[in-house]
Chains A and B, each alone.
Chain A
Amino acid sequence: ANPLAPDAPDMTQFASVGEWLQSLKMGRYAEGFERGGITTMDAVVQLTVKELTALGVTLVGHQKKIMNSVQAMRAQISANLSE
C-alpha cells in the first residue's frame, strides 16, 4: 500500500507509542518499548530492526509489521515537510 495515498491512515497522528502499537495489534510490546526508552513518536520514527530485537520484538512477522509502519510514518513526515 502506498503510505502517501489520500486514503492511507495518517500515521503521524498517534498521541502515544502505546496507542500506535495498539493500532498495529502489537500492544503486547508497549512495556518493552517503554523500558527501552522509546516513549515518543519522534523516537519511534528513528527505530531500526536491530533495536526492535533489543526491545523484545523477536518474531520476524512482528518486526516486519512494525517497520512497515515506521517507514510509512517517515514517508508521511517527509511529504508533510515538503508541502
Chain B
Amino acid sequence: MSTGSNIVAEWLRSLQLGRYAESFLDNGYDDLEICKQVGDPDLDAIGVFEPSHRSRLLHSVRALREEGAASV
C-alpha cells in the first residue's frame, strides 16, 4: 500500500514516526478520526513498542481529540 499522500502518514511524519505509517494503514487506522481512538491495545497491534514512541503518539492522539483537528 502506498503511504505517500495519506493523512495518517503525514501525521506520523510530523511526529518523526513515519516508519509506522504502513503498519497503521495495514491495521485499518487510515484516517485521523479513527486515529483519535488509538490507545495502548491499538499500539500493541500496530507494533509500536518503543516507550518514547508510544508516549509521543498517545500525547498527539490526545491533542487530536482536544482540538477536534481534521488536519495535521
The answer to whether the Cβ of A61 comes within 8 Å of any Cβ in the partner chain is yes
CB distance from B20 to the nearest CB of A (A): 12
Set of chain B residues within 8 Å of A25, measured between Cβ atoms = 26-27
Those of A26-83 within 8 Å (CB) of chain B: 58-66, 68
Q: Is the CB of B41 within 8 A of A65?
A: no
The answer to whether the Cβ of B15 comes within 8 Å of any Cβ in the partner chain is no
Set of chain B residues within 8 Å of A58, measured between Cβ atoms = 41
Q: Is the CB of B42 within 8 A of A60?
A: yes
CB distance from A55 to the nearest CB of B (A): 15
Task: Please tell me the number of chain A residues within 8 Å of chain B, measured between CB atoms.
Answer: 11
The answer to whether the Cβ of B45 comes within 8 Å of any Cβ in the partner chain is yes
Q: Is the CB of A62 within 8 A of B28?
A: yes
CB distance from A16 to the nearest CB of B (A): 21
Q: List residues of A whose CB falls within 8 A of some B CB.
A: 25, 58-66, 68
Q: List residues of B whose CB falls within 8 A of some A CB.
A: 24, 26-30, 34, 37, 41-42, 45-46
22 contacts between A and B (CB under 8 A): A25-B26, A25-B27, A58-B41, A59-B27, A59-B28, A59-B42, A59-B45, A60-B28, A60-B37, A60-B42, A61-B24, A61-B29, A61-B30, A61-B34, A61-B42, A61-B45, A61-B46, A62-B27, A64-B28, A64-B34, A65-B27, A66-B28
